[in-house]
A and B are shown apart, each in its own frame.
Chain A
């Protein structure tokens, strides 16, 4: 009896911080955000309930166009990060020698510890009209006038891929690392060539890592703020910028809350679709430990 009481007490004591954290900082704020998004201001300090904020969103093409643009560009970034990152992860996990493996993995992590801001700042110094690449090209005589590489979609996408690719590589390395080399050798011994082994053995095995990386990368990209603004300039039209605009510039918290909720719903829908398509669950991917 006493043993059971102690167990119960320790369960309650351990559950309390967890519950406080999740309820006060995650669940309640999001419920509150949803609640506020359903309010509309009819007069100063008087509110009515309704879908006005959401109707405004769908009535104004610039808003939902921005959301769709953010979503599709984030998907493109996710695909690019996977295509560029997979060979690197495979190299680190399977091809590099035992000693260089750890060093390469660490080098992958270095940009992770540097603020988004500094990374974007570095790209600005490289790519702007008076930047390093433009002046180097002029110095080499390849071009006569300075070239502006900033403020276009290609640069924004490159900058975003740069910012998030580590979150693709890290889960891929840890998945591929757990794969037995003999599985790959067996594939070759049974007469498979490189692409077949990749398609039939390596990719199915790495699927949890691939899906996990894609989810994190997609969410981070869609929710990013600094990179699109600094590299894309005023016309980057990223949805988080619209949210910031509603909140800080227009001080319209009701509509800002609706926008925030829409971004969350939209990205969750995409992630849910991705999980269904790949036959994985949140438990088998991101929550795997």
Chain B
């Protein structure tokens, strides 16, 4: 222990830490627990336990697994998050090799450019990409009478918008891992006569794989929960967060939203756990 404070101070310090975690958990517990309340409204008093908000197939208590629009939102979210995750891990891996292995002029400047998307407000990223894409699409339509439909708000733009800042996250995760790589392992393989491609495939990429997998999961989750950037780029294929927000604003809060929240919390927790497990270093043998 670093500081040896008196016991009274330490006790109140511990209480503060405990209260902080209660504060962290409170809204999540509130959002999750009403998924199981047998009532039309997500509020007290408690009316008894039910799973209707997940599985019931008729109004007025339509469960989330029978709610077409929510399921469609879930599907679009899944498609978008998968694309963003694959793309951003690919570019992130290239970036890692670029910044760890290569020497080129103005490297510090480019490194800052790489980190920058993380601190640009998501709303700004959304509108700037929307503006550029729409202008290109309008220009193509007027000048060449080309109909570039993918540049109109829709799934492609949502993927691009989320990719634009999630790639920074995946790059940072993979760079951190590549920096720990012991270059002598590659040298040994070269000395034994292996080709570049073979060294990359059998030594470097397997070493990087845990970080790539973890980065992919993080990208998937961040994409799944993103709202700010998506809001401006969304077309008719609304992902889940947008569908939920719509429902919240138009219908008001209903327990089916609690059911979705609970489902998402469990899903994210499991994925986050997997990302931690794959990143944990295996004991050396």
Residues of A within 8 A of B (CB): 6, 10-11, 13-15, 17-18, 21-22, 25-26, 28-30, 32-33, 36, 84, 87-88, 91, 94-95, 104, 106-111, 113-126, 128, 130-132, 135-136, 162, 181, 184-185, 188, 194, 197, 215-216, 219-220, 222-226, 230, 240, 243-244, 247-248, 253, 256-257, 260, 263-264, 267, 271, 282-283, 286-287, 289
Known contacts A106-B276, A122-B27, A126-B30: A289-B175 contact under CB 8 Å: yes
Cβ contact within 8 Å between B28 and A125: no
B143 at the interface (CB under 8 A from A): no
CA of A285 to CA of B108 in the docked complex: distance in angstroms? 13
Taking a contact as CB atoms closer than 8 A, the residue among B3, B114, B163, B227 that contacts A225 in the complex is B227
Closest partner residue, chain A, to B97 (CB atom): A14
Cβ contact within 8 Å between A287 and B111: yes
CA of A128 to CA of B118 in the docked complex: distance in angstroms? 33
Closest partner residue, chain A, to B161 (CB atom): A25
Per-position binary interface string of chain B over residues 6-42, scored 1 when its CB falls under 8 Å from any chain A CB and 0 otherwise:
0000100100110011011011111100100000011
- Looking at B57-65, B120-128, B201-209, the stretch in contact with chain A turns out to be B120-128
Complex interface: chain A residues within 8 A of B212 (CB): none
Cβ contact within 8 Å between B164 and A25: yes
Cβ contact within 8 Å between B164 and A257: no
User: Could you tell me which residues of chain B, from 112 to 150, have a CB within 8 Å of some CB in chain A?
Assistant: 112-125, 127-132, 135
In the assembled complex, how far is the CB of residue B91 from the closest CB belonging to chain A, in whole angstroms?
5
Known contacts A225-B123, A260-B127, A263-B121: A115-B227 contact under CB 8 Å: yes
Cβ contact within 8 Å between A226 and B228: yes
Given A121-B257, A123-B30, A223-B124, 7 more contacts at CB 8 Å?
A28-B132, A32-B128, A32-B132, A113-B221, A123-B27, A223-B120, A253-B131
B183 at the interface (CB under 8 A from A): no
CA of A224 to CA of B126 in the docked complex: distance in angstroms? 12
B79 at the interface (CB under 8 A from A): no
B5 at the interface (CB under 8 A from A): yes
Taking a contact as CB atoms closer than 8 A, the residue among B26, B95, B118, B131 that contacts A33 in the complex is B131
- How many chain B residues touch A (Cβ–Cβ < 8 Å)? 89
Cβ contact within 8 Å between A114 and B28: yes
CA of A181 to CA of B3 in the docked complex: distance in angstroms? 9
Counting from the closest, the 10 A-B pairs by CB-CB distance are A223-B121, A122-B27, A115-B225, A29-B128, A122-B31, A113-B268, A25-B164, A14-B98, A33-B128, A29-B132
Taking a contact as CB atoms closer than 8 A, the residue among A30, A119, A194 that contacts B3 in the complex is A194
Q: Which of A22, A28, A29, A215 gathers the greatest number of chain B CB atoms within 10 Å?
A: A29
Taking a contact as CB atoms closer than 8 A, the residue among A28, A115, A243 that contacts B224 in the complex is A115
User: Could you tell me which residues of chain B, from 81 to 119, have a CB within 8 Å of some CB in chain A?
Assistant: 90-91, 94-95, 97-98, 102, 104, 108, 110-119
Closest partner residue, chain A, to B275 (CB atom): A113
Q: Which of A109, A117, A162 gathers the greatest number of chain B CB atoms within 10 Å?
A: A117
Closest partner residue, chain A, to B267 (CB atom): A113
CA of A13 to CA of B264 in the docked complex: distance in angstroms? 38
In the assembled complex, how far is the CB of residue A73 from the closest CB belonging to chain B, in whole angstroms?
15
Residues of B within 8 A of A (CB): 1-5, 10, 13, 16-17, 20-21, 23-24, 26-31, 34, 41-45, 90-91, 94-95, 97-98, 102, 104, 108, 110-125, 127-132, 135, 160-161, 163-164, 167, 172, 175-176, 179, 196, 221, 224-225, 227-228, 231-232, 241, 244-245, 248, 253, 257-258, 261, 264-265, 268-269, 271-272, 276
Complex interface: chain B residues within 8 A of A125 (CB): 27, 30-31, 34, 42-43, 253, 258
Complex interface: chain A residues within 8 A of B245 (CB): 117, 226
Cβ contact within 8 Å between A223 and B122: yes
CA of A11 to CA of B107 in the docked complex: distance in angstroms? 12
In the assembled complex, how far is the CB of residue B219 from the closest CB belonging to chain A, in whole angstroms?
12
Cβ contact within 8 Å between A181 and B2: yes
Complex interface: chain B residues within 8 A of A88 (CB): 17, 20
Taking a contact as CB atoms closer than 8 A, the residue among A10, A115, A264 that contacts B120 in the complex is A264
Known contacts A113-B225, A289-B172: A17-B45 contact under CB 8 Å: no
Cβ contact within 8 Å between B90 and A216: no
Taking a contact as CB atoms closer than 8 A, the residue among A10, A21, A162, A220 that contacts B167 in the complex is A21
Complex interface: chain B residues within 8 A of A13 (CB): 94
Cβ contact within 8 Å between B27 and A126: yes
CA of A289 to CA of B23 in the docked complex: distance in angstroms? 30
Q: Which of B16, B42, B118, B131 gathers the greatest number of chain A CB atoms within 10 Å?
A: B131
Known contacts A26-B113, A256-B127: A116-B43 contact under CB 8 Å: no
Q: Which of A115, A123, A181 gathers the greatest number of chain B CB atoms within 10 Å?
A: A115
Known contacts A26-B164, A131-B43: A260-B124 contact under CB 8 Å: yes
Known contacts A88-B17, A123-B27: A264-B121 contact under CB 8 Å: yes
CA of A117 to CA of B115 in the docked complex: distance in angstroms? 26
Taking a contact as CB atoms closer than 8 A, the residue among B30, B108, B272 that contacts A109 in the complex is B272
Cβ contact within 8 Å between B21 and A107: yes
10 example contacts (A-B, Cβ-Cβ < 8 A) are as follows A14-B102, A17-B94, A110-B272, A114-B28, A115-B264, A117-B225, A119-B31, A125-B43, A225-B227, A260-B123
Known contacts A25-B129, A29-B131, A194-B3: A119-B27 contact under CB 8 Å: yes
